[in-house]
Amino acid sequence: MTEPRIVEKLRKLVEHERSARGIGNLEEAETFAAKIQELLVRHKLEMSDVEYRAEEEDEPVLKEFIPAEEWTGVSSTLRLKNWIGILVATVAKANFCQAVRSGKGIYLVGRQSDREASKLMFQHLYEIALEVAPREAQAYTTTDQFLRDSLMSGQPGSVLKRTFQSGWKLGYASALHKRLEAKRGQLLAGAGEQGLIRINQLERSLEEAIKLHFPSLRKGGAARTKGVSGYRAGQKYGSEVGINSRKRLGA
């Protein structure tokens, strides 16, 4: 099967993003996730009947298992952390896929181009979290909030710092979930009837595939964190960066 043109465009986007980040143009790099999502949504809304039928034949909805090491670049015997699971599920839904956690990895269900978009967007947003969380945790140790948390918990500063980072990542992922949901709604609002029919057809195909491959799938419970201060800081950062804002990573 030849690589779909839409995937070629996505690969050019990721190359451009890496170049922008490499020369320090972080502001441009941060709009990358929005470009991927908008490209995929508009592509589906503007497809003709012939293009849609061809895509159904060339790109059936399939499941793909991706080990945790491939998602994160870190070899681990542990299950994926909650914030990573939330981030994976968020970018999957934004790109017309669905993610199912299983053991030490993720099953990603969707069409090839949509799965590729999900992987690219995840990697971008994941790298931001790894870069920013430690820096924000270090800044937290110089605040009055850190002193209050230390007095209330009685824990050493090193533990509070780790807890802050954990909470920050969860808050960041949760904020991105809300933003990508809202962005998707904006892209679909005002779309033509034919385009929305295409979206509904794809979503039905996706749900059928999920029921086929995971008939006993249940929703997980809400993720919790002890790092409330970190969670709030991560929420704030995730509400401002990485999708369609002008906030710089280094700001």
DSSP characters for 122-160? HHHHHHHHHHHHHHHHHHHTTSHHHHHHHHHH---HHHH
pLDDT confidence bin for 221, thresholds 50/70/90: low
Tell me: pLDDT of 109 over 60. Answer: yes
pLDDT of residue 31: 63
How far is residue 2 from each of residues 8, 58, 231, measured CA to CA in Å? 11, 8, 43
pLDDT confidence bin for 6, thresholds 50/70/90: low
Higher pLDDT, 77 or 118: 118
Higher pLDDT, 69 or 77: 69
The lowest-confidence range among 3-12, 121-130, 144-153 is 3-12
Higher pLDDT, 221 or 146: 146
Tell me: pLDDT of 43 over 60. Answer: yes
Cα separation, 127 vs 237, whole angstroms = 14
pLDDT of residue 50: 65
User: 96's torsion region: left (phi>0), alpha (psi -120 to 50) or beta?
Assistant: left
pLDDT confidence bin for 76, thresholds 50/70/90: low
Mean pLDDT of 55-78: 75
pLDDT of residue 132: 86
The alpha-helical segments, DSSP class H, found in 64-143 are 68-72, 82-94, 112-140
174 CB-side CA count, 13 A: 18
Tell me: pLDDT of 164 over 90. Answer: yes
Please write the tens of the pLDDT for every residue from 237-247.
887 764 543 33
Nearest to 140 by CA among 171, 172, 162, 125: 162
Residue 103: which residues within 8 A CB-CB, separation 6 or more?
Answer: 79
Task: Give percent above pLDDT 90 in the chain.
Answer: 17
Please write the tens of the pLDDT for every residue from 173-195.
998 888 888 877 877 777 777 77
pLDDT of residue 107: 92
**Encoding tokens for residue 123?**
């990697």
82 CB-side CA count, 13 A: 15
Nearest to 170 by CA among 232, 233, 83: 83
Domain range summary for the chain, segments of one domain joined by +: 5-238
Cα separation, 103 vs 192, whole angstroms = 41
Q: For 160-186, what is the HEC assignment?
A: HHHHHHHHHHHHHHHHHHHHHHHHHHH
